[in-house]
Amino acid sequence: MGILMLSCADDVQNVYSKYRAAFTYNKVTTTAPLYKALTGAGIFCSIYCQGGKIYFNTPYESKYETLTDINMYMKPIAFNGFIVGLSNLPEMGTTDLPLLCYDRVCPNCFEESISPSLTLQENGFAYCNRCKRKYDLNNLGVISEGEKGLKLIRYHIMYDGADHLRIYNP
């Protein structure tokens, strides 16, 4: 019986990442793609930095903000940015829709290459062009198409319902 329990333990993946993550943003209501993702069930927004700008993208719209020396603290600390949104599926045992945050990198490819990031698709899915896996963002980042593997890397997220967003992992 002990051997059976040990072999099952290898298949367990922690809910939250073991990696450090940090991002604070205080202009949510003026950043339409982000605001819609945090308040509209089933909508997700990617957040990432590139070329001195921070981008906020959904499959439907985009916005960017130029990073200056003063607001450089906003630069996300993650492998390749974040994907955030309000799930359209309630948490088990409740009627509450959870606010979710994932790393924007495929957990099944990132050891080989961090650069290929996940692409947001309509209806709450993210796709990895490298391994061809499709992840269900509404269903805690599990694989919905492709080979078996790890679900998406998840981080803690807090949103005050107004302008303040915080993503963190100790």
Nearest to 126 by CA among 110, 148, 145, 113: 145
CA 133 to the chain's CA centroid: 15
pLDDT tens profile 15-50: 777 878 888 999 999 999 999 999 999 999 999 988
pLDDT per position as a tens digit, 46-62: 999 888 889 999 999 99
Q: Measure the CA angle with vertex 100, ends 23 and 110; round to 5°.
A: 70
The residue type found at 53 is K
Q: How far apart are CA 143 and CA 44, in angstroms?
A: 16
pLDDT tens for each residue of 98-150: 999 999 999 998 777 656 689 999 999 999 999 999 999 999 999 999 999 99
Q: Which residues contact 104 (CB under 8 A, 6 or more apart)?
A: 46, 47, 48, 78, 79, 80, 81, 82, 83, 117, 118
54-89 pLDDT tens trace: 999 999 999 999 887 656 556 677 778 999 999 999
What gap in Å lies between CA 147 and CA 128, rounded to an integer?
Answer: 12
Give residue for tokens 């924007």.
Answer: 104
pLDDT at residue 115, as a whole number: 60
